[in-house]
Chain A
Amino acid sequence: MSMLEINEVSISFGGIKAVNGVSFSVEKGEVFSIIGPNGAGKTTVFNLISRFYNVDQGTIVFEGQDLTTVSTHQVGHHGIARTFQNTELFEHETVLNNLMIGHHVHRKTNLLKEIFYLPQVRNQDLDFRKNVEDVIDLMDLQNYREQVIGSLPYGARKMIEIARALCMQPKLLLLDEPSSGLNPEETEDLSFWIEDITEELDITVLMVEHDMNLVNQVSDRVMALADGELLAIGTPKEIQEHPEVLRAYLGN
């Protein structure tokens, strides 16, 4: 059974079918990329999976569980983390706090215990902190720990966005255009990180991307969308030579 199964999913926004009958599945441990021209519905698919939108038709099944009616904040608890195209970080907080918030899904204490700050709460926070430090080491963010997000450059923010998602210790990581706005060197680093994530942390990656080099370098399989419809699924090489895909990108 695949880790994530999307079946005939459709959604319309006021008459425009943003996603129309799209089906695909993501296997555990792979890096699956979604490509397509602008307006193809790629981010909409993400928003459907992370339950920011409701599907009009179709089902989304994650590890055998139907996500189609789960509420938005429950998705994180199922083991799915995501990043956003225009980074949605907590602007007034330090990087460290942002990453600690990423651990919220693992919280075992309740309000009353926290008000009295029982030892259990402190130990939990120390555990969270250790995990956060591991992620910081992985992503090389040591210099940024105490800095407030608002003062950081764009490239650093993108990295922190990914780091924060990693703190959730997810099984599936949704990356929305991770390389947009990054220079070639940063994109190179990104490709290494994605490889590290899948191999060392055993996380499956589902990625929306425009940068074809990055897609070719890290992906196991690629899906091409255009105008909300599925064009093709295959290996990066197959997709690059697929006539439909070429037509969508380059015209007739």
Chain B
Amino acid sequence: MEVAQLLISGISQGCVYGLIALGFVLIYKATEMVNFAQGDLMMVGAFVGYGFVVLWDWPFILGVGATLTVMAVLGVVLERLIVRPMIGEPPFAVLMLTIGLGFVLRSVAGAIWGNEPKSVPAPYAGEVVHIGTVSVGMENIAIVLGTAVLCTLLFVFFRYSRIGIAMQAASQNQLAAFYVGIPVKRIFALVWGLSAVISAVAGILVAPVSLIDPNMGFVGIKAFAAAIVGGFGSLPGAIIGGLTIGIVEQFAGFYLPAGWGDTSAYIILLLMLIIRPEGIFATMQKKKV
């Protein structure tokens, strides 16, 4: 059943896009910055995982935990060193900054781990589950499950903790947030750490499915499209956008001539920007003068 197969691949890939997009949107919601290096953070996460699990031969769960910890620290360090000086600067400057950051991350990853693609075996890899007439790889199920779990955790975190509101305040008017006693700097650090962790999860989940190499972060661009399709300030929108693009991509790649699969993500993006730029879940408003 091709349709079902494509659908599953689409959902699985879409989850990866969605997770990266989630990282984008998180940083954007909290700091109004666009992190073009989000995909590269995923790549670093995948490589760090590779380092623990393959190079150092740690047990899988331990390796994953260590990876997430390292990535959280990396996120906080990045925030402290490069992002914090740029708070309040025009968005274009921040965009360029993160583009530069992406270059540096790729370069460093290549230097540490080499540029040849590597494989990362996971304990559940290789197994196949049969749902009806369709066979699904365990890795894909892991991706979808992992995404679902992560989203639930985040939802609970933001809904039932004061940090979510504090985050929004800090992003809307930083000076005012300072005045009311919100630890703005700590929140920014938290957000970047969290975002790095989310991307690392995406990296770890996707690693068993395909080979990892320093350039794998380029999917970040499609994840970007996902975030915009979903609505750039909306967390659930990021996932929905990711799923949309993932699924359409698979179908376009199969039914349309060569090259269209890759382009379809960009075409959806352009259509979305023209027809409904706010995305599916809009969050922009008009300025009153």
Contact = CB atoms under 8 A, between A and B. Distances in A.
Judged by CB atoms under 8 Å, the answer to whether A and B touch is yes
Interface of A: 43, 47, 52, 84-86, 88
Contacts of B288: 43
8 contacts: A43-B288, A43-B289, A47-B289, A52-B289, A84-B289, A85-B289, A86-B289, A88-B289
Contacts of A43: 288-289
A86 B287 CA distance: 12
Interface in B161-190: none
A43 B289 CA distance: 8
A86 B288 CA distance: 10
A85 B288 CA distance: 10
B286 to A, nearest CB: 9
A47 B289 CA distance: 8
Chain A interface, DSSP helix/strand/loop, else mixed: loop
Nearest to A50: B289
Nearest to B289: A84
Nearest to A44: B288
A85 B289 CA distance: 7
Nearest to A53: B286
A32 B258 CA distance: 68
Nearest to A88: B289
A222 B289 CA distance: 22
A107 B174 CA distance: 42
A158 to B, nearest CB: 15
Contacts of A47: 289
Contacts of B289: 43, 47, 52, 84-86, 88
B288 to A, nearest CB: 8
A88 B287 CA distance: 13
A84 B288 CA distance: 11
A136 to B, nearest CB: 26
A47 B288 CA distance: 9
Contacts of A86: 289
A52 B288 CA distance: 10
B194 to A, nearest CB: 33
A43 B287 CA distance: 13
Nearest to A82: B289
Given A84-B289, A86-B289, A88-B289, 5 more contacts: A43-B288, A43-B289, A47-B289, A52-B289, A85-B289
A52 B286 CA distance: 11
B278 to A, nearest CB: 15
A87 to B, nearest CB: 10
Contacts of A85: 289
A84 B289 CA distance: 7
Nearest to A47: B289
Contacts of A52: 289
A86 B289 CA distance: 7
Interface in B18-46: none
Nearest to A46: B289
A15 to B, nearest CB: 15
B123 to A, nearest CB: 53
B176 to A, nearest CB: 16
A88 B289 CA distance: 9
A26 B288 CA distance: 25
Q: Name the 8 nearest CB pairs between A and B, nearest first.
A: A84-B289, A88-B289, A85-B289, A47-B289, A86-B289, A52-B289, A43-B289, A43-B288
A252 to B, nearest CB: 30
A50 B266 CA distance: 38
A13 to B, nearest CB: 9
Nearest to A176: B289
Contacts of A88: 289
A219 B289 CA distance: 24
B289 to A, nearest CB: 5
A88 B288 CA distance: 12
B93 to A, nearest CB: 14
A252 B289 CA distance: 31
Interface string B255-289: 00000000000000000000000000000000011
Nearest to A85: B289
